Every structure is written in C-alpha cells, then in structure tokens.
Structure 1
Amino acid sequence: MPRPAAVFHSLFDDRMDGMASDFHKPALFEGSQFEGFQGGDDPATINRVAHETATALLSRVRSDPHPEVIGRLLTFTDDHGIDAIAELWARASAHSLPGSLWRIYLLRVLIRQDPQNAGYVFERGAEAIPSIDPVIAGAETPTGPKEITELADRILRGLFEGDFAVALERAAAFCHIMAHGCATLADDAEFGSPEQATVLTTRALRFETIGDELHQSAALWRHDALD
C-alpha cells in the first residue's frame, strides 16, 4: 500500500516544470496549476471566447451525440494537452458553463496521470466520508486504477450524452470524496510529517471547494441559470 506522503506527492506534485508551448502535444502540469491557471491577457475577450466555445461545443454534441465525436472529446487532452483546454476555459467563472467544463477536464487529467494513487486517495475518502457521495459518484468498489479511470471517463461522457446536471453532481461527489481522502491522509501524517499534513489539508480544501462549485453549477443548470 502506498505511503500517504508518497501518494499525494505523486498525484499532484511530480510534474514537469512549466507548460508545453506546443498545444499539439500532451502537457503535464505542476500541482500549483491545480489551484489556478492563468490564460490570456484580455479578460473580456477571454470570457466571450470561453462562453461561445463552450456553448457551441455542448449544443452541437448534445444535439447529435455521435460515439466517435464523444470519444474524441474524451481523449482530447490525452492528444493535445490540458493547456489547449485551459486557454479556452480556465479563467471562466466557477459558476459558468466553460468554468464547469474546465474543472471536469482538469479532474480527469489528474486521475489519468496517476490512477493508482488517485484510486487510493478515493478509497480512503470513500471509506470514511459520512455521506452518500460514494453512491452519487458511482465508482466501482474496490476502486483501483481501472475503476477510477473509468469513473473519470463516465463523468466526462455524461456531460455530452446524459443529464448534464447529474454529471456535475457526480463530479462534485468525486471531489468531496477526494477531499475527505486527503484530509484522512493528513491526519495520518500529522505527527510524523507535519509539513506534508499541511499540504494534504490544503489540497483537501481545494478539492472541497471545486466540489461545492460543481454542486452549485448543477443547481444552476437545472434552473436554466448556468452562465
């Protein structure tokens, strides 16, 4: 079984320095880029492009959810890198369509870069969390690398061919479970590695924040109020 410190460090922090400048190649990113991603220079232009591209993409695919098209969307970041998505949507409001799409794509990349450790953190959270979030997330148990990767794909696929709000709720539940897993690992590390415990606690709060944002976006979508 992986050590708590090794688990979290591998999942978030063992990344290439900086981002690849060539958007046609897959790009890894540092843990700091999980907290925020800086896009272009003109906020108004970025906001307009973000909303136009997100709306056009979602409307087009959901009107005719062809399996091959959805398959390409699922694997887009595998072929082109997360920075290609970030250029469009990373700076959009959390409670907007592009902001929601960005968060779910980012979660999928985090999982696929280290599915073994992602599954471990998820399992720790699912075992301890006092809620029905594991049921909502819908991961198979036990949750190993294969199961956590399939969950990430199912959540993303649900945006394009299922109930959009349900997909957001599943992603929110996933984040809450991961937050609980990180918090549990932080407790384990508190005495032996207080610095690592602090890092884990910070990550838990960030996962919790993203989960809350996606949950609110799901409610807005149901009321036709997601920006």
Structure 2
Amino acid sequence: MNEQAAASSPGPQRHHKPKPFAPLDFEPFAGGADPARVSEAAHLAAQALVRRGRDSDDPKVTRRLVKLADEQGLDAIAEMWAESPARSLPGALWRLYALRAVAIRDPERISVYFRAGKDTAQVSHVVAGAAEPPGAEEMKSMADAILSGAFDGEFDVALERSAAFCRVVALGQATLADSAEHSNANHASKLTRNSHLLVKTAEDLEHAANAWRLGELD
C-alpha cells in the first residue's frame, strides 16, 4: 500500500517503528550529516561496544560496528561520540578514548604526572573508595579492551578506575604546577588548567559509573 492510499484509507493507521540504523548507514566524516542521526548512531555504537558479548539485543548492529572499526578504525567510531553529552554512555566512551589517546601520544609525561600524584599525601583522599587507579599503560590496555568490545569485566569499576587515574594525574599536575610557579609561570598555569579539566573528567566518569549501576546510563 502506498502512502497516498494509506492516508485515504478508513480506520486507524498502523505506525511502523522506524527501522534502527547502524553506524554504517551514514559516513561519519561526511559534511551535513543529520545531527539527530549522528547522535542515535553514536548511542547505538556505544551500546554495541559495551554490551558486546553480554546482552546485546541487536547482533546486526554489533557486526556492522565491528566492520566499521575494521575498515575505518576506532577513530571513525569515536568521531561520533565527540559531541555527546558528557554524562552519557557515548560521552563516557569518548573520555576513555581521549585518555587512551593521551597515554599513547605521551606516555612518559603522563607517567611523570601519575608518579607525582601517587607520591603526594592527598592521593588517598582523592581516590577514597575507588578501585586502585591504573597506571598509564594499564589505562591504555583497559581502554583498548573496552573500545574494541573485548572487555568482559565490570564496566562501572572500569569507569571508576579511569576516574581515579584522572584524579591522580590531576593531582600530579597540580603538585608540579606549585613547584614550577616561580620558575615558569606559564607552564604552571597550563598544568593547573589541565589539572582542573581532568578533575572534571573524573567527575563525569564517576557519574557515569553510578548511572551504569542504576541502569540509567544510555
């Protein structure tokens, strides 16, 4: 039945549920993509990754996501998450992706910040109640597993450990900023600014972990 016939036929009409679309239904890098479609695809991709091997109810989405990752790489998927709300599943994965990228790009510098944070007296306070924070290499490995769909641990714990990593690195940056304040004010200001941003990231990841436990992270 065509649309015109349906519109003129008597009686109530049946509204068909829109066909779910997977990430491959549009080009992530194509200009002018419908923001609503990009947002929905970002959520579908995030759900397929995190729930892969658990309770994914749409194996076709998972297969197409894996194909996209194989053909275009993780960057293509992460591109969809960049504009997602911070406290959402795709937003949380975007933050894990960003942490992974930093750990890959400059592992030595991140390790310096991490050690400086771990060596301070305040570290037990900033990560109180959290699982042991991972180092830079473990952070990368954990993010790799999550972002490839291979992670089989507790997702909320992984988010909390990632948040703890952020807090320790932020604390290290703040400590080094204090030391550099008189000798290099510009560098100290940059470290302080980055430290504040990492604390915000930690807060977002902690919120996501709690929402996941409550079944409210989407």
- Give TM-score scaled by structure 1 length: 0.66
**By percentage of residues, which structure has more helix?**
1
1:152 equivalent in structure 2: 140
Distance 1:40 1:182, change over 3 A: farther
Matched AA of 2:132? A
- Tell me if 1:172 matches 2:166: no
Q: Residues of 2 paired with 1:182 and 1:40: CA distance?
A: 39
Q: Residues of 1 paired with 2:32 and 2:82: CA distance?
A: 10
What are the residue-to-residue correspondences of 1:1-227 with 2, within 5 Å?
Answer: 42-63=34-55, 83-128=75-120, 129-131=123-125, 133=127, 136-139=131-134, 148-154=136-142, 156-157=144-145, 160-227=151-218
Q: Residues of 2 paired with 1:59 and 1:81: CA distance?
A: 19
| Superposed displacement of residue 56, structure 1 | 2.0
Distance 1:40 1:105, change over 3 A: farther
Distance 1:118 1:54, change over 3 A: same
Output the aligned Cα RMSD: 3.0
Alignment length, in residue pairs? 173
Helix, strand or coil at the partner of 1:62: coil
Helix, strand or coil at the partner of 1:197: helix
Whose Rg is larger? 2
2:3 equivalent in structure 1: none
| Superposed displacement of residue 132, structure 1 | 6.2
Q: Does structure 1 retain, via aligned residues, the 8 Å contact 2:78–2:97?
A: no
Q: Residues of 2 paired with 1:82 and 1:191: CA distance?
A: 42
Q: Does structure 2 retain, via aligned residues, the 8 Å contact 1:40–1:87?
A: no
Q: Percent identity?
A: 39
Q: Does structure 2 retain, via aligned residues, the 8 Å contact 1:40–1:46?
A: no
Output one character per residue of 1:122-163: Cα deviation in whole Å (capped at 9) or x when no partner.
010111124262972344xxxxxxx52134313553682110
Helix, strand or coil at the partner of 2:52: helix
Distance 1:132 1:194, change over 3 A: closer
Q: Does structure 2 retain, via aligned residues, the 8 Å contact 1:85–1:102?
A: no
Unmatched 5+ residue regions in structure 1?
1-38, 65-72, 140-146
Output one character per residue of 1:21-62: Cα deviation in whole Å (capped at 9) or x when no partner.
xxxxxxxxxxxxxxxxxx976432221111111112222243
| Superposed displacement of residue 108, structure 1 | 1.1
Q: Residues of 2 paired with 1:40 and 1:101: CA distance?
A: 24
Q: Does structure 2 retain, via aligned residues, the 8 Å contact 1:82–1:109?
A: no
Q: Residues of 1 paired with 2:160 and 2:144: CA distance?
A: 12
Q: Residues of 2 paired with 1:40 and 1:136: CA distance?
A: 42
| Superposed displacement of residue 164, structure 1 | 0.7
Distance 1:127 1:54, change over 3 A: same
